[in-house]
Amino acid sequence: MMLICVHLRPIFMFTLSKRRFVQLAGLTIANRILPNWLWARPFSPPGDSGRKVIIVTFGGGVRYSETFSPEGLKNIPQLAKMRAEALFFKSCTNAGVLSHFNSTASIITGNWQRVDDFGFQPPASPTLFEYYRKQTGVGPLDAWVIATNKSFSTMGAGSEREWGLPFGANVVLPKQLLLEAVDDVVKKNPQHGVANRDNVLHQLEVILNEGYEGVGWTIFKAGRQLDHHVRNTLTSGLIEFINGPEAPTSGDELTFFITREVMREFGPRLILVNFWDVDVAHWGSYSLYLQAITRTDRLTGMLWDEIRSNPNYKDKTTLLVLPELGRDGDLNTSSNGFLNHRSGDSSCRNVWLLALGAGITRGETDRPIQHVDVTAAAAALLGVKTGAVSGKPIREILNQAA
């Protein structure tokens, strides 16, 4: 296990293991609500098949024209390879609000969401995480949301009283951790014993500004805060981590690292991974948009490699990959093409879904499905039932994975 050195003062140093780093990184609901004895390694219910589900969203939105169209395949070499062993849905429709929080919340609730899109409100109906945890009785370490999008702090649980926070997912927002590291360790405390302070600051700020951020960093001033000791320890550890051999160069790369560590240390059954650097498209640079697509493709391929090589996931994990939405079409004169996702045309709403892993065989289908169908399918794979949802189980996945 790699050790990360943490400098608290110039004359005092201790080591922070990667396991402890991940534990501290869980900006979670669970550790504030549940007793400590529930923080044991997750268990499987009696008779459970051990199936695991990982959902990956191309946050920010991508169009067919830059992905699975003949001319777009060059941007997604890893997904193109994965398609050869996947079940590919050519038509997966987002019929809801074309915004980030609502789109992803619709995917993980099975109902079209219409709540505040900056994360000030949780989803209005229970999430897949709540159905899974409440019915199986597993602990909070068995369900995670790891999101580059800064507005996803409330994505782990819905607002219905009989469900909610006690059954929700751990939510980790890696870019928020970096923001705290910049603000509190580097800028405000130069005597922290950090070498090359200006270089560290520059590196962190590059990662924070990699994607299109817009408004919303202040969401955390109204949200959950880590206690003072944990926060100081974590931000100090991040300074050392960011200079290590696996130092990321983008927010999505940091999200991948945290996801991989969560998988290796805790082996959870259910994970939502939100990559979001693609939203750089709002800046109007088509080349940056394409670079972000290729980076997300690479990281998704690396995640698939981890699933196939990790004994806790190999041969027992179903991976579902889909864009949370598309982007405006170039021919729509009322929109700005790839820059935005507001027109509601087919380029915005009609995307794709890739399913592969345990029980899934290669194939393609033209049968239309919807984003809200994902929760119904994932719940069935995990052996749990949903409440009243708009989505329907995806029979092609369930028939193969049975």
Calpha distance 323→67 (Å, rounded): 10
Calpha distance 234→216 (Å, rounded): 22
Q: Considering only CA atoms, which of 223, 235, 358, 338 is closest in space to residue 291?
A: 338
Q: Which residue has the higher pLDDT, 108 or 259?
A: 108
Determine the structural domain holding residue 88 and report its residue range. Answer: 22-178+208-227+241-401
Q: Which residue has the higher pLDDT, 355 or 27?
A: 355
Place of tokens 């994360």: 119
pTM of the shown model: 0.81
Residue 233 covered by a domain: no
Three-state SS at 270: strand
**Of the listed ranges 13-22, 95-104, 198-207, the one predicted with least confidence:** 13-22
Residue 157 covered by a domain: yes
Question: Is 70 exceeded by the pLDDT of residue 211?
Answer: no
Three-state SS at 229: helix
Amino acid 162: pLDDT: 87
Q: What is the pLDDT of residues 28-44, one digit of tens each?
A: 333 433 333 334 344 45
Q: Which amino acid is at 167?
A: F
Residue 380 to residues 5, 169, 268: CA-CA distances in angstroms? 43, 18, 17
Amino acid 97: pLDDT: 95
Q: What is the pLDDT of residues 318-350, one digit of tens each?
A: 999 999 999 998 876 566 689 889 888 899 999
Most confident of 101-110, 227-236, 241-250, 277-286: 101-110
Question: Taking residues 142-152, what's their average pLDDT?
Answer: 89
Amino acid 258: pLDDT: 80
Amino acid 229: pLDDT: 44
Q: What is the mean pLDDT of the chain?
A: 78
Question: Is 70 exceeded by the pLDDT of residue 315?
Answer: yes
Question: Taking residues 158-178, what's their average pLDDT?
Answer: 84
Question: Is 80 exceeded by the pLDDT of residue 313?
Answer: yes
Amino acid 120: pLDDT: 86
Three-state SS at 144: strand
pLDDT band at 25 (very low <50, low <70, confident <90, very high): very low
Domain count, the chain: 1
Question: Is 80 exceeded by the pLDDT of residue 27?
Answer: no
DSSP E strands: which ranges in 290-332? Answer: 317-323
Calpha distance 197→203 (Å, rounded): 10
User: Within 10 Å of residue 227's Cβ, how many Cβ atoms?
Assistant: 9
Residue 184 covered by a domain: no
Amino acid 42: pLDDT: 45
Residues constituting the chain: 402
Question: Taking residues 293-309, what's their average pLDDT?
Answer: 97
- Residue 251 makes CB contacts below 8 A (sequence gap 6+) with 148, 174, 175, 178, 207, 208, 210, 211, 276, 277
Question: Is 90 exceeded by the pLDDT of residue 150?
Answer: no
Three-state SS at 172: strand
Whether 136 and 163 have beta carbons less than 8 Å apart is answered as no
pLDDT band at 359 (very low <50, low <70, confident <90, very high): confident
Supply the CATH number for residue 368's domain.
Answer: 3.40.720.10
Whether 382 and 270 have beta carbons less than 8 Å apart is answered as yes
| Radius of gyration over every alpha carbon of the chain, rounded to an integer in angstroms | 20
Residue 385 covered by a domain: yes
Residue 388 covered by a domain: yes
Residue 289 in tokens: 């948009």
Place of tokens 């999101």: 147
Handedness of CA 323, 324, 330, 332 (dihedral sign): positive
Question: Taking residues 248-266, what's their average pLDDT?
Answer: 83
Question: Taking residues 57-75, what's their average pLDDT?
Answer: 96
Q: Which residue has the higher pLDDT, 378 or 260?
A: 378
Residue 79 covered by a domain: yes
Question: Is 80 exceeded by the pLDDT of residue 235?
Answer: no
Amino acid 311: pLDDT: 96
Q: Which amino acid is at 122?
A: P
Amino acid 103: pLDDT: 97
Whether 397 and 87 have beta carbons less than 8 Å apart is answered as yes
Residue 391 covered by a domain: yes
Residue 198 covered by a domain: no
